[in-house]
């Protein structure tokens, strides 16, 4: 019987989805699920729904709930991390301060000023979690869902002995989109994907042994289909491969789409009319946060059932527990040179075989030259952020922001320096003690 601990379980919708995924496997439905969050009200909501799942389905699982992190971690076999550090204030700063300078971020959780500072404010807590894991469940596998994925996982690889893997749903979501665009069943699409998180690429995509890329190019020529995924289709048109992250995300990882309002509006497309503008995720996060803070639980507990989503966590745990081999796209250390064109200390997103012996990254080799520079750029920025945080080096944080592709396209160096200083001052309470 495995013990599976959720850190940050107050994110009810996502936590409940992952709990349901785990309980959907008969081999895991007698697990102990420990839910932990510092917000008692939100934690209580998640706990009630999780308990209803167990009761309604007649399962043998045990649901535990606590605000004490070490208690939740004690004896854990798997730790799912989905924390958000700092709440609204730093998130607002990370989006609105750059916006005043002319850096128009849609999401701001992976790279750019928003992603960099989100990483900096999260790293100290991640290191605290790692310290607790080392003391009370040293053999546990940490499954990280918190962004910025690459920055946080690379920090854990470098600064701790905790076995860590990063999980993201962008690859299965993109596979579903491609299958839809080319008109094939999603479960019949074969693919080979690699890069770094949110900047990975479908190197191959096929159906019945035939590449679907010709059909994907044909789909792009249909105006209605094109408008559903403008940025990703433009990236494929110019660089030959379809990226894994949605158009509103991808638009802020490259320098081409967010430097003037006319381009942002032109690239929005019909399906993204409310998603491409600046602060899309911030505004949505505010609405979801208000809903989560509502004292009323807007769920019919009698109707709660166990379902399985596309998320990887339950499949990974099931594979390790039952020695069932699966291939998943995961975020792992590049120490095995899975991608030879990226640094060996980078966090890479690659196909990984998972079984009872653990995680086995597949060898991808070099990324195609037409797209290889994109993850290389981001890996270089990630390296500076990690070094800046671990070495308390303010100058390296500045250099990370100055090398961000979108920021560099929008601002001059002195402007970036001034903006970064303002971000450092505004968010000082949440950051490492930078010198």
Distance, in Å, from the CA atom of 32 to the CA atom of 78, rounded to the nearest integer, reads 11
Active site includes 169? yes
Contact by Cβ (8 Å): 136, 165? no
Q: How far is CA 22 from its chain centroid?
A: 19
H-helix or E-strand spanning residue 133:
helix 112-136
Kindly give the interhelix angle for 369-390 and 112-136, rounded to the nearest 10 degrees. Answer: 60
In the chain, the largest separation of any two C-alpha atoms, in whole Å, equals: 62
Phi-psi region of 107 (alpha: psi -120 to 50; beta: other; left: phi over 0): alpha
Q: Name the pairing type of β-strands 163-166 and 190-196.
A: unpaired
Q: What is the dihedral of CA 189, 190, 194, 199, to 10 degrees?
A: -10
Q: How far is CA 61 from its chain centroid?
A: 28
Measured CA angle at 390 (ends 388, 393), to 5 deg: 35
Residue with tokens 């944080």: 397
Tokens of 92: 């607002």
Residue with tokens 């491409």: 276
Q: Which of 169, 217, 360, 417 is catalytic?
A: 169
Question: Strand, helix or coil at 423?
Answer: helix
Distance, in Å, from the CA atom of 410 to the CA atom of 157, rounded to the nearest integer, reads 32
Beta bridge partners of 339: 365
Could you give the residue numbers annotated as active site?
A: 169
């Amino acid at each position: 019987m495995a013990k599976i601990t959720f850190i940050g379980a107050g994110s009810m919708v996502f936590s409940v989805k992952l709990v349901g995924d785990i309980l959907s496997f008969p081999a895991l439905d007698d697990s102990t699920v420990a839910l932990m969050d510092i917000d008692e009200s939100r934690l209580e909501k998640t706990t009630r729904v999780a308990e209803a799942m167990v009761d309604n389905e007649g399962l043998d699982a045990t649901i535990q709930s606590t605000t004490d992190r070490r208690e939740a971690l004690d004896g854990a076999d798997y730790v799912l991390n989905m924390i958000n550090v700092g709440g609204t204030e730093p998130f607002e700063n990370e989006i609105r301060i750059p916006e005043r300078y002319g850096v128009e971020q849609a999401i701001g959780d992976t790279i750019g000023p928003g992603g960099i500072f989100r990483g900096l404010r999260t790293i100290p807590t991640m290191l605290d979690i790692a310290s607790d894991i080392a003391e009370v469940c040293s053999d546990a596998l940490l499954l990280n869902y918190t962004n910025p994925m690459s920055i946080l996982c690379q920090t854990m690889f470098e600064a701790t002995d905790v076995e860590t893997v990063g999980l993201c749903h962008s690859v299965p979501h993109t596979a579903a989109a491609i299958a839809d665009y080319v008109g094939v069943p999603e479960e019949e699409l074969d693919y080979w994907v690699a890069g770094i998180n949110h900047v990975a690429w479908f190197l191959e995509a096929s159906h019945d042994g035939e590449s679907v890329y010709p059909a994907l190019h044909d789909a792009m020529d249909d105006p209605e289909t094109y408008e559903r995924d403008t940025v990703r289709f433009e990236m494929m048109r110019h660089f030959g491969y379809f990226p894994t992250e949605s158009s509103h995300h991808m638009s802020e990882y490259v320098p081409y789409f967010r430097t003037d309002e006319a381009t942002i509006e032109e690239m929005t497309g019909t399906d993204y009319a409310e998603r491409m503008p600046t602060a899309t995720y911030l505004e949505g996060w505010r609405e979801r946060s208000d809903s989560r803070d509502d004292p009323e639980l807007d769920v019919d507990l009698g109707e709660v059932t166990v379902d399985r989503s596309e998320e990887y966590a339950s499949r990974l745990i099931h594979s390790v527990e039952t020695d069932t081999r699966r291939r998943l796209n995961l975020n792992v250390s590049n120490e095995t040179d899975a991608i030879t064109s990226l640094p060996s200390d980078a966090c890479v997103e690659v196909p990984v075989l998972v079984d009872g012996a653990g995680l086995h990254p597949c060898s991808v080799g070099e990324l195609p030259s037409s797209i290889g520079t994109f993850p290389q750029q981001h890996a270089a920025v990630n390296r500076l952020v990690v070094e800046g945080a671990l070495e308390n080096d303010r100058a390296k944080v500045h250099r990370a922001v100055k090398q961000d592709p979108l920021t560099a396209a929008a601002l001059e160096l002195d402007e970036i320096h001034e903006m970064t200083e303002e971000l450092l001052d505004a968010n000082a309470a949440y950051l490492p003690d930078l010198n």
